[in-house]
Chains A and B, each alone.
Chain A
Amino acid sequence: MAPPRFRRVARFVSPVDHGFAAVVYGGSILFALLIIGLFVELVLGSWPSIAAFGPSFIWKSAWDPVNSKFGALPMIYGTVVTSLIAIVLAGFVGIMAAVFLADFAPRWLATPLSFLIELLAAVPSVVYGLWGLFILAPFVRTAIGPALQKTLGWTPLFSGPIYGVGLLTGGIILALMIVPTVTAISRDVIAAIPQDLREASMALGTTKWETATRVVLPAARVGIFGACVLALGRALGETIAVTMVIGNRPEISSSLFAPSYTLASVIANEFTEATTSVYISALIELGLILFVVSVVVNALARMMIWRVRGSA
């Protein structure tokens, strides 16, 4: 019989330890129960709609409360596309900013800059929304949109009329909102990379830039990826700011200039005035889909992190 790998050393366990263990266990179980409870409640709430429309709710495109016809596809599309635009923009800018703050900026500049970027996270989303509606949307209509159309107008992504509001504007607003998350976490991760690595790389004659892109960033990639996942989670569920600039039209269009709709926006827009029970239930089912989409995206990201970590 193999000897036990380790033996319990402490014979005496104080009642305080037991109490502490109970609190810690209780806390984590509570979270699990909350998530399960939320899921059950969403399923119960959306049952009339699930019963009425079945799985076709997910791939139907009509959203017509007057005639009680509901389908979620345009909203799923809008949610995913705006979040993707946001994570591409915010990921690039945020990681670059993090590299700068951690390795390049002098201390007197890095501290106030970090503070300012983190301050962006404290701005209420309705402020982003109004700013988006009054400043960003006209700017997209008059400057960004036409410029993109001129250079990339031959692709379906940038064709069609530019309203100012739409997928692209929604994605840009979301990017602004999640940049602080990406930057702050990535900066901490990069700063935590051992100094020895950088010194070793420099000793081999690399430039500062080569060290950052070829040594530091690859070493920090798991953490940075985690930062992007957290940010993406916020982007998927963000409501008011997107509602103000997305155009709120339940339609799937290949153009990023076209108005669209997100799951969270429909709920925010229509829940207070929804009266018939199947209508309310259809809105709750959108919430259920948003919940499932968030869980799936997070699970996928987590799996990617595990793979990256495994190969690292």
Chain B
Amino acid sequence: MKGSFLRCFTTAAVGVALAVPALAATQLTGAGSSFDFPFFSKAFYIYNQKNPDVTINYQSIGSGGGIQQFTAKNVDFGATDVPMNAEELGRAGQPVLQIPVTLGGAAVAYNLPDVTATIKLTRQAVADIYLGKILKWNDPQIAKLNPGVKLPDMSIVVVHRSDGSGTSYIFTDFLSHVSPEWKSKVGVGKSVSWPAPSSVGAKGNEGVAGQVRSTPGAIGYVELAYVIENHMPAALLENKAGKWVACEPDTVAAAAASKPEVTATNFSIVDAAGENSYPLSGYSWIVVYKKPADRAKALYDVLSWLVGTQGQSNAKSVDYVPLPRNVQTAAQATLNQMQR
């Protein structure tokens, strides 16, 4: 009885072991940012269609988890919304290449039941709302930006992400750039201590969007792709050049294009210069070892395709922002340092 069970088990195990390599010659694994996931699933699916011998398994477990898995060498590449910092690079133990892979933006969505016009907000107004210094929608500071709009005498409910997120990082990075008070009082991070007295935390883009939709007077920042797909009203923001810009793929790309020399240590593109730049923009990154232990050639080929024109062309179809041409070139140059 016992013997036959063991035999059965061994046969099954060998069967599985033989079947896996037959399905795919090379399997690459990655883990990290959940923001990247829709873009990656689309792009890697297309890549697998073109190169059936390579499959890429990406687990969207969050940037922090991705860095951890990458550092433990459980995955071939990690993906993160904020580049690895010096402490994290030290833990990795060997040289790491960080490559920008896609762009994101945060739209400032709001819920004002009887207002049909699109609200305009200066950078200072956004900061003051999130600091809790502007408490009502008909505050003179907002009213003077929106002449002709009848703003209600309604309390502003400030909604933010409760889960640690790259979108929160971009948003707080922006607030720190435009408001010294925010910088000293709160700072930049994926999770921060939100100071506004009427602030509410919601989980994920769907949580923030749901909270904003169901609460009259609410304001919240939501990932660009989510706003486009759900047709939410979002504020026009004043950029550094003093122009009013909407959160769109083109304005986010313009912010990125204004700073082609982006590196993992100098990566912030919030409050970017340029007439058409959207101020709440940021990159997402892929991290790989400079000398991968194995599967280096396959990994290089996939990433090279991903940051190139062909891979980036998949971004638009899922409402992501492709890297501008000059950033693609820079990403490719970094990737070429990989030993393969």
A positions within 8 Å CB-CB of B: 62-67, 130, 133-134, 137-138, 141, 161, 163-165, 243-244, 247-250, 259, 261, 265, 268-276
Task: Select from chain A the residue with minimum beta-carbon distance to B204.
Answer: A244
Residue of A134, A137, A138, A243 near B203 (CB, 8 A) is A243
B positions within 8 Å CB-CB of A: 61-65, 67, 85, 87-88, 155, 157, 162-165, 186-194, 198-203, 206-207, 210-211, 214-215
Q: List 14 other contacts, CB 8 Å, given A165-B200, A259-B201.
A: A65-B164, A65-B193, A133-B211, A163-B200, A248-B203, A250-B193, A259-B199, A269-B191, A272-B63, A272-B163, A272-B164, A273-B64, A273-B190, A275-B190
Number of A-B contacts (CB under 8 A): 103
A39 to B157, CA, bound (A): 40
A244 to B87, CA, bound (A): 33
Chain A nearest CB: distance from B73 CB in Å? 18
Residues of B within 8 A of A243 (CB): 162, 203
A274 to B192, CA, bound (A): 11
Chain B nearest CB: distance from A147 CB in Å? 18
Residues of A within 8 A of B194 (CB): 249
Do the beta carbons of A137 and B214 come within 8 Å of each other? yes
Do the beta carbons of A66 and B163 come within 8 Å of each other? no
A243 to B202, CA, bound (A): 8
Do the beta carbons of B162 and A273 come within 8 Å of each other? no
Do the beta carbons of B163 and A161 come within 8 Å of each other? no
- A269-B163, A270-B163, A273-B64 given; A66·B186 CB < 8 A: yes
Residue of B163, B188, B215 near A164 (CB, 8 A) is B215
A272 to B32, CA, bound (A): 9
A239 to B39, CA, bound (A): 28
Do the beta carbons of B164 and A274 come within 8 Å of each other? yes
A164 to B157, CA, bound (A): 11
Do the beta carbons of B191 and A273 come within 8 Å of each other? yes
Do the beta carbons of B187 and A273 come within 8 Å of each other? no
Residues of A within 8 A of B187 (CB): 66-67
Residues of B within 8 A of A268 (CB): 163, 203
Task: Select from chain A the residue with minimum beta-carbon distance to B201.
Answer: A248
